Structure 1
Amino acid sequence: MLWVALSLPCAPDGTRPSSDALHGLATWALQFTPRVAIADEAVVLEIEASTRLFGGRRALHERIVGEADDLGIAAIGWAPNSLAALACTRAGVRNGLRRPLPELLDALPMEVLSAVAPHRLTLAQLGCRTLGDMRHLPRGGISRRFGKDLLRAMDQAYGLRPETHGWVELPETFRARLELMSRVETAPALLFGARRLLVQLCGWLAARRAGTTAFTLRWAHDAMRSREAGEGGELTIRTAQPMRQIEHLCRLLAEHLARVKLQAPVGDLALEAIDVVPLEEHSASLLPDPKNESESLALVLERIAARLSPERVRRPVLCEDDRLEWAQHWQWALQPMPRQRVAPSDVPQPTFVLAEPQLLAVRDHRPMYQGPLMLLSGPHRVEGGWWHRSEGDGGGDASTHHLERDYWVALSQHAGVLWIYQERLAGDATAWYLHGSFA
């Protein structure tokens, strides 16, 4: 399992982040995985099943870290479970996957577990400074003296007991609020706080696979305002097409804020999505999009070869050869395709072919594969390969390519329809081989 903990900064007096801030962060995180939960001052998310979707652990890590500054995240921690990830964020350890979990946690201060807080003074008097010190205490004594909650939290952090979470559900509508750290007196300066709300909006839109064509930014004036200033103001932004690109939305909002004049200092911001419509996803694959009929395969291969280098892109080419091993070969994708017409073969062609033919057991002159085989059709004679003596083997022996086989379509009671053959040039013509199977 792979868990990530995203911790928001606490107030100087130790007050935890507001519920609005935590739920806003959780809403943004739902674009990566539906398994998101709030734990104390942090949001934890299980992303093991999502790493492949986002291009692997490194790519997902870079994306989360890249947006962390805009969201005001104070610390990020990775670990095999949520409590360990939360402990890493509190201890300043970003990557908790480099060492075995017991070795990692034993070195952390005991305060990284929330369950320790009620018993911190008593544990310190017992000489405990780290989680490793606590783990070496008698389990029975911990349970009797400190209750089962502490022992349960330690077992869950060390992966000895499963965790339970209350998952955050994706809201049907988007409304987010942000209390500014200081009073803002000019409208363009509101963009700094509004960007954080827009990042949350884009995360919510990504989780819903949608885009917005209109959103409203509202601001509330400071309580010490004049009566003429009113309680606040608002600004509605509309886009020409559904959008969830953060940079585009920020530039658009900045253009509108430049023409706004605030009547009083602003202390709070609120963002609401007005119009939300499904957004048609564009394929991120290197392969051609079936909906884009104007893009030919040749152009796609050129683009892939430019990214990966021409030597790494090959295409199959059919050959005029009845031997299945030689019926096709691979050439560089940018090489011209040979102009030849391959006539259809009269020999049945299997769906799946073994890399190496498998020698079959024989009983009473009948081939065996998970029981006796019933021959349905055949023989289908396949012969060829003698021309390789002069084509590409430097005049050497062509016996490794020349073959003469009699193929049969056989039925197995358990394995289905198979493709088997006898090697007529072999010393023992009674030997049977399995070469493939039919779907």
Structure 2
Amino acid sequence: MLWAALHLPQRALDGALRRCADPHAPLALVGGPAQRRVVMLANEAARAVGVAPGQALAAAQAIHPALATQMYDAAEAHRLLALTCAWAYRYSGQVCSDGEDTVWLEVGSSLGLFGPWPRFERLLRDDLHGLGLSHTLAVAPTPLGALCLARQQDGLAVTDLTQLQRALQSLPLDLAPFPPDVREALHGMGVRKLRQLFVLPRAGLQRRFGRGMLDTMDRLTGDAPDLRTYYQPPDRFEARFEFDDEIRYSTGLLFPLKRLLGDLAAYLAGRDGGVQRFELVFEHDLHPTSTQTVGLLQPERDAARLFDLAKLTLERQAVPAPVRAFGLRATELPPFVPAGRDLFEARPASALDWPALQARLAARLGEQATHQLAPQPDPRPEHAQRRVREWRGHPAAPPLPRPAWLLPRPVPWREARHRVLAGPERIESGWWDGGDVRRDYYVVETEAGQRAWVFCPAGQHGPFLLHGWFA
């Protein structure tokens, strides 16, 4: 097996930067009591002007008055870790996390699908940059070994146990996955490198630190299996975006909407599914929580297409009150089947297929503005179809052609000269509901070459009534 360790040391800061329209502006995460806020994390732009973790907030603002600040949000950091697991599930069925700052995925079984490691690595990094996650990445035959390498240097790749054990020899003890008290005790014994730890008597280490330390060492070097609980994607997606000030116009919701739908698309790609209906959730200060529903005709997971539909819904429906927090909730997550395309398709790449066009029209005009026609088991033309939101059946071929344009009601046939192409076809039905009809239908062609569907009373030869036109 070959494990890739994704070390995410500043998830909380990444979560804050994802909420900023300008992620390159100086930003600091603060915490502590209200009387004495301190800087917990600062982005690169803030550190460049002199802001550093541990500073009092007042001192940091004195150094840079325009410094943007946000409260440290541990829940957001945990959500980003879960999102990373959901995204990694796209590339491997064996994904796990330590619940703190690392996600592992087994990549050895995926190399045949995604290519050799350098290409696979570029693919992973491109996705992580798109998610806005700072990271270091390393590969090793054991999860803990990959973590140590990722903490040491970004991009290290070791493919067998012999190389791994040799690489671990030179690593500092502080990179090892031991509790802080164990590392402190080992420092007191003069142990600074892992090579020094590996040569110590195991019996003495067990008496001093317990059997758990030896188990960790064996899992680190590959001398014992590292059994872990693998991640399973949940059956629903929920995400939330909280604002510092109330948002009064829908345009102010477009940036968080795009970010949340990007996360949803990454989650859907990980579980190889789609979304057919999701809700936009608006939280207000002085008004009950409101929602807007975005529906699709078929499962979709393209972030750009989902954003277009949600944007149209926002523009069509007014939000009832200023928004303090904005969220997205998706519970209908059916399997996703990509649309089939012909190899030599003549349709332009930017053209919309019918389901996409209908979904766009429904988002713009409302779900009741668009419909499809489904066949009914009734031979009367007026009752042979009904309007439905979506129909996936396959109609049986009629015994005779049916016109594409059926008139709302029959009108007298005014063409004196015509040619009968087919018929008569007798339709006699409806006695049970008061709509009894007895007609003989004909397909006729006019002098101008138009084809029409006409009828007359059963057993007669005229006069004709026009009921539809063929395309």
What TM-score bracket applies, with the shorter chain setting the length? 0.5 to 0.7
Structure 2 CA distance, aligned partners of 1:108 and 1:250?
Answer: 46
1:18, distance to aligned residue in structure 2 (A): 4.7
- Please give the per-residue CA displacement for 1:129-152, whole angstroms capped at 9, x wherever unaligned: 333332233322222111222222
Equivalent residue for 2:237, pick from 175, 179, 187: 175
2:114 alignment partner in structure 1: 54
Aligned residues of 1:213 and 1:240 also touching (Cα < 8 A)? yes
1:94, distance to aligned residue in structure 2 (A): 2.6
Matches within 5 A, 1:242-261: 242-254=299-311, 256=313
- Please give the per-residue CA displacement for 1:242-268, whole angstroms capped at 9, x wherever unaligned: 32122333344455556766944635x
Which structure 2 segments of 5+ residues have no match?
Answer: 13-39, 42-71, 346-471
Counterpart code for 2:87: W
1:165, distance to aligned residue in structure 2 (A): 0.4
1:25 alignment partner in structure 2: 84
Matched, 1:44 2:101: no
Equivalent residue for 1:214, pick from 269, 272, 277: 277
Structure 2 CA distance, aligned partners of 1:138 and 1:122?
Answer: 16
* TM-score for both structures, normalised by structure 1: 0.54
1:240, distance to aligned residue in structure 2 (A): 4.9
Please identify, of 188-197 and 132-141, the stretch whose mean Cα deviation from structure 2 is larger.
Answer: 188-197
Aligned residues of 1:37 and 1:167 also touching (Cα < 8 A)? yes
- Please give the per-residue CA displacement for 1:355-400, whole angstroms capped at 9, x wherever unaligned: xxxxxxxxxxxxxxxxxxxxxxxxxxxxxxxxxxxxxxxxxxxxxx
* TM-score for both structures, normalised by structure 2: 0.51
The sequence identity of aligned pairs, in percent, is 26
1:270, distance to aligned residue in structure 2 (A): 3.5
Matches within 5 A, 1:139-158: 139-158=202-221
1:83 alignment partner in structure 2: 144
1:114, distance to aligned residue in structure 2 (A): 3.2
1:74, distance to aligned residue in structure 2 (A): 2.7
Matches within 5 A, 1:40-439: 40-41=99-100, 42-80=102-140, 81-97=142-158, 100-171=163-234, 173-178=235-240, 185=247, 187-188=250-251, 190-221=253-284, 225=285, 227=286, 230=287, 232-254=289-311, 256=313, 263-264=321-322, 266-267=324-325, 269-281=326-338
Which structure 1 segments of 5+ residues have no match?
Answer: 284-288, 296-439
Secondary structure class of the residue paired with 1:73: coil
Structure 2 CA distance, aligned partners of 1:128 and 1:187?
Answer: 59
- Please give the per-residue CA displacement for 1:190-212, whole angstroms capped at 9, x wherever unaligned: 45544454344334433443322
Counterpart code for 2:307: C
Aligned residues of 1:26 and 1:37 also touching (Cα < 8 A)? yes
Aligned residues of 1:75 and 1:94 also touching (Cα < 8 A)? no
Structure 1 CA distance, aligned partners of 2:281 and 2:319?
Answer: 14
Question: RMSD between aligned alpha carbons?
Answer: 3.5
Secondary structure class of the residue paired with 2:334: strand
The change in CA–CA distance for 1:74 and 1:130 in structure 2 (over 3 A counts) is farther
Secondary structure class of the residue paired with 2:279: strand
- The number of residues matched between the two structures is 280
1:280, distance to aligned residue in structure 2 (A): 2.5
Aligned residues of 2:4 and 2:143 also touching (Cα < 8 A)? yes
The change in CA–CA distance for 1:254 and 1:48 in structure 2 (over 3 A counts) is farther
1:19, distance to aligned residue in structure 2 (A): 4.1
Secondary structure class of the residue paired with 1:4: strand
Aligned residues of 1:24 and 1:176 also touching (Cα < 8 A)? no
The change in CA–CA distance for 1:20 and 1:294 in structure 2 (over 3 A counts) is closer
1:124, distance to aligned residue in structure 2 (A): 1.6
Secondary structure class of the residue paired with 1:210: coil
2:64 alignment partner in structure 1: none
The change in CA–CA distance for 1:160 and 1:212 in structure 2 (over 3 A counts) is same
Counterpart code for 2:195: G
Structure 2 CA distance, aligned partners of 1:264 and 1:92?
Answer: 47
Aligned residues of 1:175 and 1:270 also touching (Cα < 8 A)? no
